[in-house]
Structure 1
């Protein structure tokens, strides 16, 4: 259902800021697979974590769901559990295609938890009581000054023993670590068929859109938002995922 990512293969007269439009939605699965080391492991284990912490009769959020990979994983692992998932994204192109993917999953598997996909701004979304919230590479696209407020609202909505899964690309305070991991990440992209031109143009497109935090900054912010404990449960190069407990 997706095409090969060639969005930055030809020289562009001007590289615009990255936008989650229909062109990106069309190639997004290929883009993610070839760009984010460890992504399949993160997505699969979001399902495992959700199955561990989801509480009967409760709501689960996938905020910034893009094409719904995390939602699909949670549905596979939750099976016919007494829960429901609300997947939210602000990009119309992503929402349309996400609904198509979930409909295809419904046709292939029985007894899945119900999942609804809506277009909305998670900065404005009224959060209902919930047991699991997923921010899978979402927070990094929110303005830094708004991140604490988002996490605080999530913490307030989480039920006792609820959990947030927060996946992000990390930056590192130590410049040597930053340089080494960044260079290996570029090598990962080259190994997956991206040219130097594609890597450079994608970097230019995203540098003003995706503003990164260190893991330490994430932990400090999660504590300030009211979470009782947080840990990095997975890291591959400069990408990883954190579990934060209510």
Structure 2
């Protein structure tokens, strides 16, 4: 059961870089719901996109799966024969809790896709032939100089007719647009009960580990990685999701 997110509710003399540790795992569902505009819509629609792009005898990847929200959506919606989902995360605490969530889902539904969870660095994965890859707010935590090579390897593993679904927080080249959407995001978090202290301390913790790009940067990088088309299918404030086609 998720606990309320109070990680940054008290003043901290030293704020370490944000990590997906056990403290974050305990509050993650509450944190993401109150921090990421449109997150439930993105997750549910990745399940629907999976149903559209999934091919028989292929893998569906959830890279940076955290607690498995996308994996669960794929298992609910995809009925393609002989598909399986592989969820990957480098946080042992996330993977451990994710296994519990998958067992709970198995007890509630019948005939779900098989799922395999791996505690691993996605930069070191040996990708299997896949028809869908979901990266839901994951690429932004990878060093910028390593992003293109990872996307190239994903593109090389995608079957014809497959897709990469990439969800990312955006920054904006126009300073006024960036400032407006940043302020609106802060308003969103305030409306969900976060104090100015919590917002400021979270920003300090995450600014060195999460480096967002503009949509234009994402599009140019995806095309350089070998994708033929990039479609922005969702945006709410500065949170977005795009489909990249081989």
**TM-score in terms of structure 2 length:** 0.99
Greater than 4 Å deviation, 4+ residue runs: none
Distance 1:106 1:80, change over 3 A: farther
Q: Is the 8 A contact 1:80 1:112 kept in 2?
A: no
Equivalent residue, structure 2, for 1:7: 7
CA apart distance, 1:167: 0.1
Equivalent residue, structure 2, for 1:26: 26
CA apart distance, 1:82: 2.5
CA apart distance, 1:56: 1.0
SS in 1 for 2:149: helix
Q: Is the 8 A contact 2:51 2:80 kept in 1?
A: no
CA apart distance, 1:79: 4.2
| Correspondence list, 1:3-152, <5 A | 3-79=3-79, 81-152=81-152
SS in 2 for 1:123: helix
SS in 1 for 2:98: helix
Equivalent residue, structure 2, for 1:190: 190
Unaligned regions of 5+ residues in structure 1, if any?
A: none
Structure 1 vs Structure 2 CA RMSD: 0.7
Q: Is the 8 A contact 1:80 1:111 kept in 2?
A: no
Distance 2:223 2:79 in 1: 32
Question: Is residue 2:210 matched to residue 1:210?
Answer: yes
Q: Is the 8 A contact 2:54 2:80 kept in 1?
A: no
**TM-score in terms of structure 1 length:** 0.99
Distance 1:137 1:117 in 2: 18
Equivalent residue, structure 1, for 2:156: 156
SS in 2 for 1:75: helix
Q: Is the 8 A contact 2:59 2:129 kept in 1?
A: yes
CA apart distance, 1:81: 3.9
Equivalent residue, structure 2, for 1:225: 225
Distance 1:80 1:226 in 2: 26
Distance 1:157 1:57 in 2: 14
Q: Is the 8 A contact 1:38 1:236 kept in 2?
A: yes
Distance 2:63 2:20 in 1: 15
SS in 1 for 2:6: coil
SS in 2 for 1:82: coil
- Residues 102-141 of structure 1, C-alpha deviation per residue, up to 9 Å, x if partnerless? 1100000000000111100000010011100000000000
SS in 2 for 1:187: helix
Distance 1:76 1:180 in 2: 37
Unaligned regions of 5+ residues in structure 2, if any?
A: none
CA apart distance, 1:57: 1.4
